[in-house]
Amino acid sequence: MSNALLRAGFAAALAALALALTACDRASGSEASPAARLSALEQRIDMLERKAARLQDVRDIKRLQRAFGYYFEAAQWDQMADLFADDATLEMGLDGVYVGKAHIRSYLLALGGGHVGLSEGELNEHLQLQPVVDVSADGHTARARWRTVVLQGQYGRSAEWGEGPYENEYVKEGGVWKIHALHWYQTFVVPYAGGWAHNRDVNGGVYVSGKLRPDRPPSVRYPTWPGVYIPPFHYANPVTGR
């Protein structure tokens, strides 16, 4: 059923309810007019519809980011690139900023060693956890923070794991949410054997910028493990408001 039909049904039901309330008001001596009561109920429904729309936006954005992680794990770089807006930006670790869907696609392909799909025995898990999604009041843009655990390696040859947060921006185009700015901060990527207790970060957050030049340098420079850096949160502390 369309929204127009639903609203028409609501309006008819509200009109009937307003008449019933008016009769009760007259019996009780209330001064509220039918129009005032109906207006208040319509405003309540409008507020609930907006709230429901924002909740759906949050679900859609979570699904979008999960698709990103799924394609990442399967090394499906074309499908990943298609999740971005045409003028989007991507920034992974300290490789710099890559602008536009075409350059993002090139970056992802280079990140995957120049081929689509995993090699035999290759592991590339990209677990995206703890989402905090905030949608703008107009429902056209959003921001979200994720925490990512990375498990990667080649059977019998290497094994690494890592961690770091995303601070991303999203835009709704034609009713469809797309990634507008993706930024992953590398906390650490270290050999599995010995973990962070006995190893330094394996690459300092640099992956392919030496062979595929970024459009802009890193938006922020920070130390990777054993250095410590906490990227700014896009939202206020829920307790202190800071």
Calpha distance 152→162 (Å, rounded): 9
Q: What percent of the chain clears pLDDT 70, i.e. is strictly above it?
A: 87
**Residue pLDDT, tens place only, 47-93:** 788 888 899 999 999 999 999 999 999 999 999 999 999 999 999 99
**Residue pLDDT, tens place only, 184-203:** 999 999 999 999 999 999 99
First to last CA, the chain: 44
pLDDT at 16 over 60: no
- Checking DSSP bridges between strand 84-92 and strand 176-184, what pairing results, if any? parallel
Characterize 150-159 residue by residue with b for buried, 16 or more Cβ atoms within 10 angstroms of its Cβ, and e for exposed. Answer: bebbeeeeee
Calpha distance 104→70 (Å, rounded): 17
Calpha distance 188→195 (Å, rounded): 10
**Residue pLDDT, tens place only, 113-149:** 999 999 999 999 999 999 999 999 999 999 999 999 9
